[in-house]
Amino acid sequence: MIKQPGIHLTIANTIIDLVQGDIKEHLPVTCIPLRGDILGLGTTTSIDNGELIFIYDEAEAETAIFKCHANTGAIHKVCAGDGSDHFPYVCFSSDATDSGCSIDLPSLNSQADWRLADWVAAAIDSLDKPAEVYGVRARCQWDDLVITVASKLCLNQASRNNSGAAAGLGSSIYDSLQHYLLSDNPSTEAEEKIEYLGDSLEWDCCGFFDTQPEKGRVTVAHAGANLHIHGVSLDHRYGGHLHHEHSRTRVLRVDELVIYPIESIDQLGSDLAITEIDFDAGTLRFKVSNGGAMDVSDIGIDVVSDNRYSERQYLRLPWLAAGESEIFTIVLSLALGPHQILVAVDPTGDIIEREEDRENNRVVIDCVVN
């Protein structure tokens, strides 16, 4: 494959998808190329919970993905087959090695009350490389740092079809997550939701700055939420989402800041289809195919004869990997004469697909029983 110029960002689902409820599409870690400097962040499944942090090892010239645990704040390296290697939300770049803009930090004329987002915004303003989204790598020393860790896919597993779900896109989304405090001094305030971890205050950070956060691609979709950034402490004891806007968080200094203008963005999608359907001698045979880019889980299938939904046969497919298919065979007891059979995969629209990609989810065939 010929490497194209510029940095390209791939998004598997979006933040909006994540906060609106259960996500049934997953990208395996094996689909993320980690050779070189790969920028990224993400969230693990509702079963094991946690945040994903992309850390570049310059000596090895490759990127490692670390998972932060919701119940401890501790981290471990994600490896294929370890049980946390399928991600409902993740975004990652192409190899950004030598493509970042290292910022001359003194030239930013920082103020004492600057938060990390102010540093990043000023750094972007200093560049002559406009982009919709910028990758960010930073090494920071903190006075106090509050981190959060995703739990139960961030919210209360509300259905994405719930008309009120969109209300959860505000800044209060982080209120529902587990909070941890890193500081030289344990908190003396009565903050039930913040657990003190220790004084690991030097952090390696990676994330994205979206100039249009309302799109909810890599940041929470509300005004001012431009920066979404994860990190790990340099002693590799802790990691998670940097709650840089929290009132308790205070950055002591920024030691290194690199900005990566993103050239193009590709959003992965799902595409389920009913294919190769046939009815013969009382037996219906059909194939369900996953033509999308992500694995899908917990898929429902309806088989309805002659529009009699009260007599439908309902099937459930636990998992279907991207590019794979599964064949189903069902015996239908139909009276003599003509009939119409409907087969629909994901009839309730639980899988996120573009409208034009949903057209192949339903197939109707006409048949005659002699």
pLDDT in tens, 331-343: 999 999 999 999 9
User: 193 vs 137, which has greater pLDDT?
Assistant: 137
User: 72 vs 302, which has greater pLDDT?
Assistant: 302
Alpha carbons 71 and 73: distance in angstroms, whole number: 6
Using alpha carbons only, give the angle 249, 251, 254 rounded to the nearest 5 degrees.
150
Give Cβ neighbours of residue 317 (< 8 Å, ≥ 6 apart): 288, 298, 299, 300, 301, 326
**Residue 188: its pLDDT value, please?**
57
| 287, two tokens | 């194939």
Radius of gyration of the chain (CA): 24
Give Cβ neighbours of residue 113 (< 8 Å, ≥ 6 apart): none
Q: Report pTM.
A: 0.89
Alpha carbons 91 and 181: distance in angstroms, whole number: 26
Burial of residue 300, with CB atoms counted within 10 A of its CB: 0-12 exposed, 13-18 middle, 19 or more buried: middle
User: 70 vs 338, which has greater pLDDT?
Assistant: 338
80: confidence class by pLDDT, cuts 50, 70, 90: confident
What is the overall mean pLDDT for the chain? Answer: 89
User: 35 vs 221, which has greater pLDDT?
Assistant: 35
Residue 165 has pLDDT above 70, yes or no: no
What domains can be seen in the chain, in order of their start residue?
Answer: 7-268 (3.30.1330.80), 272-369 (2.60.40.10)
What mean pLDDT do residues 198-215 have? 97
Helix, strand or coil for residue 13? coil
**Residue 157: its pLDDT value, please?**
43
**Residue 225: its pLDDT value, please?**
93
What mean pLDDT do residues 169-195 have? 72
Residue 5 has pLDDT above 80, yes or no: no
For every residue of 219-269, which 3-state class applies, written as one string?
Answer: CCCCCCCCEEEEEEECCCCCEEEECCCCCCCEEEEEEEEEEEEEEEEEEEC
Write the pLDDT tens digit of every residue in 220-236.
Answer: 888 899 999 999 999 99
**Residue 156: its pLDDT value, please?**
46
22: confidence class by pLDDT, cuts 50, 70, 90: confident
Residue 187 has pLDDT above 70, yes or no: no
| Range with lowest mean pLDDT among 30-39, 55-64, 73-82, 354-363 | 73-82
Write the pLDDT tens digit of every residue in 243-293.
Answer: 999 999 999 999 999 999 999 999 998 999 999 999 999 999 999 999 999
DSSP-derived pairing of the beta strands 250-268 and 7-12? parallel
Residue 46 has pLDDT above 90, yes or no: no
Alpha carbons 204 and 62: distance in angstroms, whole number: 15
Residue 158 has pLDDT above 60, yes or no: no
Alpha carbons 158 and 115: distance in angstroms, whole number: 32
